[in-house]
């Protein structure tokens, strides 16, 4: 009888622990989403407050390129990874299978966006040229950061995802304050560069957290293995999201 009671108590203890872990995971996940939104809102607000209309239009085009690039990578890489490698027991995993391949695929895809930005920069001039150059350099960094968040969230490591975004927001905020104090308001394009720099710091934290780095060969293998699934996600994204994002280009041009 005593053994039965002990077994029941142990089972209840495991259930309570599992619930506590789920609530903790949700809390870190909420913090991560809040920081991610704060990062996007913060750079847009800072750019709008410190630039002319022409500079902000150039910033909007570069930012729209980032949004589209992230959307494509999520459709082709992140969403498929989340389906294939999701951790279902709610416990944060210390393993991140195929992380190098997912990151490598993200880098390979982002290079197409980088090439487009460089071509646009050659044809453009003034603030638009500068913003496209920043976008060309920053796009691989930004998509790798976003994939890193998905790697952590997929493996129930919401704290890790929050850590990446907290590093991004914190370093960008400190750099923006330091630049403003020493040299005055930086303007839209330098603000965008500082934002990319903050994302790069988050990427370093992601590499240390996941204990992996992008591998282009692993990325190609990853893409070949998931193509039949990612193509469907890509079609869905084009149908639902691409038209909205392309509107930002019109806004930036106006």
Tokens describing residue 190: 């330098």
- For residues 164-179, average pLDDT: 92
pLDDT for the residue numbered 13: 43
- For residues 129-156, average pLDDT: 93
Q: Rounded mean pLDDT of the chain?
A: 81
Higher pLDDT, 227 or 50: 227
Which residue from 159, 147, 138 is spatially nearest to 35, judged by alpha carbons?
A: 159
> What is the number of other CB atoms lying within 10 angstroms of the CB of residue 2?
6
| Distance, CA of 185 to CA of 157 (rounded, Å) | 37
**Looking up tokens 């590499």, which residue turns up?**
207
Tens of pLDDT, residues 218-247: 999 998 888 877 777 777 777 666 666 666
Tens of pLDDT, residues 113-123: 999 999 999 99
- For residues 8-33, average pLDDT: 47
pLDDT for the residue numbered 110: 94
Higher pLDDT, 214 or 31: 214
Tokens describing residue 226: 């998931």
Question: If pLDDT is split at 50, 70 and 90, which confidence band does 125 have?
Answer: confident
| pTM of the predicted model as reported, rounded to 2 decimal places | 0.82
Question: If pLDDT is split at 50, 70 and 90, which confidence band does 42 have?
Answer: confident
Evaluate if residue 10 carries a pLDDT over 70: no
Higher pLDDT, 240 or 105: 105
């Amino acid at each position: 009888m005593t053994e039965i009671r002990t077994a029941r108590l142990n089972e209840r203890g495991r259930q309570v622990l599992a619930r506590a872990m789920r609530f903790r995971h949700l809390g870190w996940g909420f913090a991560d989403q809040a920081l991610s939104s704060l990062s996007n809102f913060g750079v847009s607000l800072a750019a709008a407050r410190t630039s002319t209309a022409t500079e902000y239009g150039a910033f909007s085009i570069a930012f729209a390129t980032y949004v589209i690039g992230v959307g494509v990578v999520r459709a082709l890489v992140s969403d498929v990874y989340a389906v294939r490698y999701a951790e279902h027991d709610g416990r944060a995993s210390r393993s991140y299978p195929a992380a190098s391949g997912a990151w490598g695929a993200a880098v390979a895809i982002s290079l197409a966006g980088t090439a487009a930005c460089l071509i646009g920069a050659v044809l453009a001039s003034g603030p638009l040229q500068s913003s496209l150059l920043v976008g060309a350099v920053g796009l691989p960094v930004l998509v790798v950061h976003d994939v890193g968040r998905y790697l952590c969230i997929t493996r129930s490591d919401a704290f890790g995802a929050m850590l990446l975004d907290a590093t991004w927001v914190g370093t960008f905020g400190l750099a923006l304050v330091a630049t403003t104090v020493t040299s005055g308001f930086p303007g839209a394009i330098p603000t965008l560069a500082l934002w990319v720099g903050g994302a790069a710091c988050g990427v370093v934290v992601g590499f240390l957290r996941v204990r992996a780095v992008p591998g282009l060969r692993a990325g190609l293998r990853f893409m070949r293995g998931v193509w039949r699934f990612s193509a469907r996600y890509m079609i869905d994204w084009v149908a639902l999201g691409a038209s909205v994002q392309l509107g930002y280009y019109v806004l930036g041009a106006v």
